[in-house]
């Protein structure tokens, strides 16, 4: 169970960091730039802890897939980014892939 907490923290950290990239204005603004740096450092630290029990390919697929979907939703909700039907379908397919990995893959330790 602990590996899933680590992976969740890694995903949330990466989403926060990626969401702050635009506000950092090319790393010219201090506070958003610090959020980016700390967020990515935290994301990779917790991802590395996850890799002690979940295979790298599976962990990375979940980390990146959920991260992409969450960043797209944050960009839509807070930054005014439009999501058309193909974008929504693509995001749903990414999430479906994450669900398939979690429910049906024998390569994930569910302990």
31 — pLDDT class (breaks 50, 70, 90): very high
Counting Cβ atoms within 10 Å, is residue 104 exposed (0-12), middle (13-18) or buried (19+)?
A: exposed
Helix (H) or strand (E) holding 66: helix 56-78
pLDDT in tens, 67-82: 999 999 999 999 899 9
Count Cα atoms within 13 angstroms, Cβ side, for 66.
Answer: 20
Q: Determine contact, residues 20/28, Cβ cutoff 8 Å.
A: no
Residue with tokens 């990995």: 101
Longest CA pairwise span in the chain (Å): 45
């Amino acid at each position: 169970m602990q590996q899933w907490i680590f992976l969740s923290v890694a995903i949330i950290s990466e989403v926060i960091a990626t969401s702050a990239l635009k506000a950092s204005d090319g790393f010219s603004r201090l506070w958003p730039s610090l959020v980016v740096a700390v967020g990515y450092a935290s994301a990779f630290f917790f991802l590395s802890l996850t890799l002690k029990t979940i295979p790298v390919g599976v962990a990375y697929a979940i980390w990146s897939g959920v991260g992409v979907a969450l960043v797209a939703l944050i960009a839509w909700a807070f930054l005014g980014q439009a999501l058309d039907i193909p974008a929504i379908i693509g995001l749903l397919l990414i999430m479906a892939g994450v669900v398939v990995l979690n429910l049906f893959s024998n390569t994930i330790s569910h302990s």
